[in-house]
Amino acid sequence: MKKGYVLFAEPTTQHDLTFNRSVVLIAEQNETGTIGFIINKKSDYSTIDLIPELNINFTIYNGGPVEKENLYFIHKIPSLIKNSIKIKDNLYWGGNFDLVIKLINGKKIKKNEIKFFLGYSGWEKEQLNNEIENKYWILAKKESVEKFPFQETISIWKEKLEKLGGKYLLWSNSPENPQHN
């Protein structure tokens, strides 16, 4: 597993509301474990709900089940946001949050350059590798991760399954809750 890889949740009839139909960007991988952010599930909140000093509203996504009370962000502007951690090529996470607020209010950060998350997805050492081996995840090593985390990503899981075809095609067109079929 490497930083910058993307995981697509295997289709399932299980009632895992967190990861069902999720697309996860791996932001960090080291000897203790892996951190990622679910990039395709909007939360019920926006930045104005949680950061009243902002004068521009951004959607906040459900990043995962860990530390859901904390706000995280990924971006592609490390030259503006100091103390960022490189994920891959032109993709970073974190940095000076007070500076981010000033840059957003000064219209120096555009909506297609930053994405906010409540919580993150985390796995202990070898846990994620075991989940991939047990076919809980489809590992996408060659997805163009630099662009799609910042575009509208709600349908990205369905689009990936359609590209895979075969048994995945049926799942791509099924309702999220099979009882609604």
Domain annotation covers residue 179: no
109's tokens: 């950060």
The boundaries of the domain holding residue 97 are: 6-153
- Residue 67 maps to which CATH number? 3.40.1740.10
| Lowest mean pLDDT across 42-46, 76-80, 123-127, 146-150 | 146-150
Domain annotation covers residue 132: yes
Q: How many domains does the chain have?
A: 1
Percentage of the chain beyond pLDDT 90 is: 62
pLDDT at position 167 over 70: yes
Strands 66-75 and 114-124: antiparallel
pLDDT digits (tens, 9 = 90+) for 23-81: 999 999 999 999 999 999 999 999 999 999 999 999 999 999 999 999 999 999 999 99
Percentage of the chain beyond pLDDT 70 is: 83
Cβ-based neighbours of 58, under 8 Å, separated by 6 or more? 46, 47, 104, 111, 114, 115, 116
**How many H-runs (helices) and E-runs (strands) does the chain carry?**
5, 10
Domain annotation covers residue 167: no
Domain annotation covers residue 52: yes
Band (pLDDT 50/70/90 cuts) for residue 174 is low
Residue 174: beta bridge partners?
none
Q: State the pLDDT at residue 176.
A: 63
Q: What is the mean pLDDT of residues 105-121?
A: 95
Distance CA 158, CA 11 (A): 10
pLDDT at position 13 over 60: no
Predicted TM-score (pTM) of this structure = 0.88
Q: State the pLDDT at residue 103.
A: 97
Q: State the pLDDT at residue 147.
A: 57
Q: State the pLDDT at residue 12.
A: 72
Distance CA 154, CA 144 (A): 16
Domain annotation covers residue 110: yes
Domain annotation covers residue 60: yes
DSSP per-residue letters across 113-172: GEEEEEEEEEEETTHHHHHHHTTSEEEESSS-TTTGGGS--TTHHHHHHHHH-THHHHHH
Between 130 and 167, where is the model more confident? 130
Domain annotation covers residue 180: no
Domain annotation covers residue 166: no
Q: In angstroms, what is the C-alpha Rg of the chain? A: 16
